[in-house]
Structure 1
Amino acid sequence: MSDLEKLLRDEAEHAETHQDAPAGPRTTATRPGHARSTVYSVRLNPDEVAALQEYAETAGLPASTLVRSWIIERIRANGATPDLRKIIHDEVQAAVRDALRESA
């Protein structure tokens, strides 16, 4: 595992463990260009939820991020949304930049 992969995994684990902690003074809560304002409720049985959680943990992602990426990928496959890879790339780059800035 590369240093970057370890940093990202550690940050993801820390964020999941401390998701209810108050935001620090240097925290910026924005998603540039990605204002999400609609929430969909999806009913899953306990086995489906367990499978989703296991898959998300294996992927190193929160389940909601994984589900959202699947939906966006499916929409994109039908030619109706921006390039998901670019969106993810830009978000990961910003997260890495922030992590490196904080560790300096």
Structure 2
Amino acid sequence: MAKKLDPKIAHTLRDDARNLEQQADSNEPYPANTKISRPNQPSRMSNVRLSEEQFAALQAEAGRRHLPVSTMARAWLLDRLDIERSAS
């Protein structure tokens, strides 16, 4: 049996979406505490050589955190860069 959305709920959702779209098209300035980011900008790739033992340790830590190895390595590199910048 196919599930169907209640027409009243669908109407309410459409109205809500239209209201949100109208607000989003506003020309008003962003609130003062808004942080603007530009995701998906071009990025650079870098290869890192690790021994089997080092890679296994990184892989194990990434697995414990349920992250891909590349995400874990990137996070650690960025954390270290922040530490180095703060120290200088």
TM-score (norm: length of structure 1): 0.41
Higher relative contact order (CA 8 A, sep 6+): 1
Greater percentage in helix: 1
